[in-house]
């Protein structure tokens, strides 16, 4: 890896549905070793946060991450995985001047007025939709075994076992909440890290979102939906290169998705 120690940043890693800050366990030390501050919080109702599902809202997701962004002492690289793309988009609307770059890691990239549920149901029928139940209790995988097939098919078995132990239901309200985005959101540089072998958010869907909301940088990773497990070092290198984006240059060339 190149030496990025002269470009200190704060990386805030926002997990997606069913996960918690635990999913970033391989990535965090790699970014820290390059001299950066790294935060991997649990969203309300996830990981070690035991907020009852019925009390969890999209606004509470946004508030938790926005508070971390606003307290950061160095420029923020705000990374959202999967459903976390909804949260980081709304955080950028709330405090655009505090964010150096938004990074969508095979993530939802919404337009104004869209909800996560709308983005999901707009997809053509996929194995992912067949494997998910959405009820008044929230969003769940019908069978735990589906997690390996949809999310972790190229990941080490130890990481799959950890994930299957800690995956939790996804609250319903954040799925139905629509983002409110304006020029404030548009003013923040964006990068999209696309996973070419993603079975949860297929490549064609990623391409459609990037076409609708273009990003300054688009990079392809030959990974499943979970590159933080399947290729953490390559993911870290891609994220470290983005430390330059707010200075008008980056440490990588944009690639086609």
Q: Any idea which residues carry the catalytic annotation?
A: 198, 225
| Alpha helix positions (H), the chain | 27-33, 58-71, 84-94, 116-121, 127-131, 145-151, 157-166, 172-176, 183-186, 203-212, 227-230, 232-241
CA–CA distance, 77 with 12 (Å, rounded to integer): 6
Tokens of 40: 């991997």
How wide is the angle at C-alpha 160 spanned by C-alphas 236 and 52, nearest 5°? 95
User: In angstroms, rounded to a whole number, what is the distance separating the alpha carbons of residues 101 and 78?
Assistant: 6
């Amino acid at each position: 890896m190149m030496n990025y120690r002269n470009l200190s940043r704060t990386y805030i890693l926002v997990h997606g549905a069913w996960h918690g800050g635990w999913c970033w366990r391989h990535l965090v030390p790699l970014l820290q070793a390059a001299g950066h501050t790294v935060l991997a919080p649990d969203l309300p109702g996830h990981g070690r946060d035991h907020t009852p599902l019925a009390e969890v809202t999209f606004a509470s997701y946004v508030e938790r991450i926005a508070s971390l962004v606003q307290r950061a002492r160095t420029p923020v690289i705000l990374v959202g995985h999967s459903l976390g793309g909804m949260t980081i988009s709304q955080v950028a609307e709330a405090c655009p001047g505090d964010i150096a770059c938004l990074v969508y890691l095979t993530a939802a990239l919404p337009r104004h007025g869209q909800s996560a549920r709308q983005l999901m149901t707009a997809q053509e029928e996929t194995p992912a939709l067949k494997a998910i139940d959405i009820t008044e209790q929230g969003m769940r995988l019908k069978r735990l075994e589906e997690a390996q097939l949809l999310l972790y098919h190229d990941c080490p078995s130890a990481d799959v076992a950890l994930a299957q132990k800690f995956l939790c239901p996804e609250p319903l309200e954040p799925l139905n909440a629509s983002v409110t985005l304006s020029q404030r959101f548009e003013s923040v540089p964006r990068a999209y890290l696309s996973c070419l072998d993603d079975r949860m958010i297929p490549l064609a869907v990623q391409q459609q979102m990037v076409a609708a909301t273009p990003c300054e940088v688009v990079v392809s990773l030959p990974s499943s939906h979970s590159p933080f497990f399947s290729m953490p070092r390559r993911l870290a290198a891609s994220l470290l290169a983005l430390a330059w984006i707010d200075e008008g240059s980056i440490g990588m060339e944009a690639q086609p998705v």
